[in-house]
Structure 1
């Protein structure tokens, strides 16, 4: 053991003194404190004002260094904490992936175990059935006796008919027995074959076989439940309403409606045909938009929904395109509807439907009403809301004929085509035209 230093000896002496003589230790401590205080006082009295300022400056520097060390230590700990948080955030995804992988492995193991247990349970059930049969054979005096359940399963149509004849007709002659036996064998073979085919059949085939139990003959002789028991059915056979019949009925009504002369018109061209599923039919063009035709269909008593109405529209009945509407009347009508839609956007009109606007102004579609010669409706005007700002800009679409040039094999050609353009109220002519249109 190495020798102790003076400081260690003094420390050991103080500890021993504190333990053995605490009063003496307290006296020595108080004397030491008084001596330290006196020394500090002497130093303060001895030091000049300049020395005191130097000492204070040293203390300030020492305090500043201490504070700097503390700040550095705090910043390093904060950085370490943020790094740990970031690491934890990065590790969270890996932890979740690991957990997910672990859970999937456990799930597969449990599935495998469940499958094995199910197989073992089935094996045990079979084993129990075999042991039951052996027990019955040992209990009965004759080993040839078989349980009722197994006999029902293993009996052929011939054995079934023989056992029935022995039990019910024991005193009948052999010739009569043979006649009855033939009928019984036929009945048993039909029932067994129906049952086996029903068990093998899929859903559609089962529906067909169930009709044997639900036909008129079975209902007449009240054999519906007996035939269903032959198939092995526990519940009653429900007769579902055929939805296909309703669909066929709606389909025929809707197709007849679309092929009417007031709903669609046949195409004029010889080659205007449409083919679907190798069926070539002449095209027919709708006279009105389909939503208006649906209103007409409902007004006439149709019960199909809008979706069914769309779905059962014949493929040959199509909407007219621009090249199919090249008459002046069609273009004028569309221009008028464009103007009505722009007026409705402004809030001047309540609706943009031309037919409804015409009903508000005229009595009927006769010549006098159309040309303002009718005494009842010639003074009628549209209800227009004129409270809107007159300076608000107006835009509307209009079909106009325009020339288009294109090059075809180094030759320029000019063709006139109908194009849709946007018109705005920018000039005086346009504004005057709008005022006239509103007044009309």
Structure 2
């Protein structure tokens, strides 16, 4: 019969022990130590298995030690007996003639070693855990049976409700049920009279119930009609509640008057405010009339020419409150504003943008159309690809020709140059080179912008006393026109340039305060001389 793997390994270990001895044991110890994992690195399941295995090994080791100790004691006793001198054996006969041997040498009896556990008394087993387990099992079974009974009763109740709901609950069926419970004989003259009166009462109750459930107004009218002294006198309020769902509290709050028209509060004051608001907004200093024939709005039954406010509504409100003795809110002014008076709508386009930002944004829009990236914000795109670069995105381009838009100076008819958006077409490789080059330049540009903002912020925080920080820039040139001008003066508009400034200074209490100034000039050149003249005119830049 072939040997098992464990038998072959056991024989292999015995051969190794015999041939190498302690050297082989050291090698095996080092080999197993390499695969040993500390208990802190094991999970709970592996920890439990290792501890059980260690307990079993320790128990087996102790049993082997006890067995070895018993064998050693027995051998020692036998050796002592053999070393003693033998005593002569004497035959002794008793009265009955039975002979026996007698010797002076002590007899040696082999006895098993009795442990302290065996010497002790009988262990008393506690059945508390068993009783608790049985009790839990019985309670679970009882709980399961109760749930089963509950489900049975619930389903029975649902079937009963469904059976009752399927029955026709009409006034006639209710009347027949009342006659049957009263024990009256159907078909007789007296029974038919009673049946008609009961049927009439059921019909009226059903009509009142359905009418009161339609809307609150009808419920109010029904409550007014049925509430009265006769219902209280004959104690029919409870029956009224059962049949119509109208409680006595609802009846007590009703009045016998049917005309409950709510009078508007402060009607004359509201009419006065509406009239004042309309007159105020239609003044020429607050709004201007549109000249077009199509700029007419139907206001009620009359067509009104559309008017546009000269300022925002919250500024109009401040002016209104200063001219009148009473005050109104912004919501009231907006509510009473006539339909033909429109709000002011200034241009919402973005101007004075950075050319580098716009050119890079247009390239990002082109890359988004090709499915290369989803980000169209230049600053955010630089933040995302600052460390890894944009080569990964550029490799996704599959088109051979790339079309995008860019701001460039273009010569016009008179030889002057103007900034316009032009269409540019490049090959795939040329576009990649251009994009990498512009990305590096734009990254440096973004860093400079952030550094400048940080420097200005730090200067504001650390601004010393008797010093001022002035920020200024040219605004757009504006065309000036007369508010009430004649037709031939349309082409005589004059141009002015605006130069806004904001000044930061430190106040006496140590906080930073600012104030703004706008300089208006008919000189349209935006050069250093103009800036110096404005600085010289400002109180902060004027020399002593």
The answer to whether TM tops 0.5 is no
Identify the structure with bigger relative contact order (alpha carbons < 8 Å, sequence gap 6+). 1
| TM-score when normalising by structure 1 | 0.36
| TM-score when normalising by structure 2 | 0.31
Higher helix share: 1
Higher strand share: 2
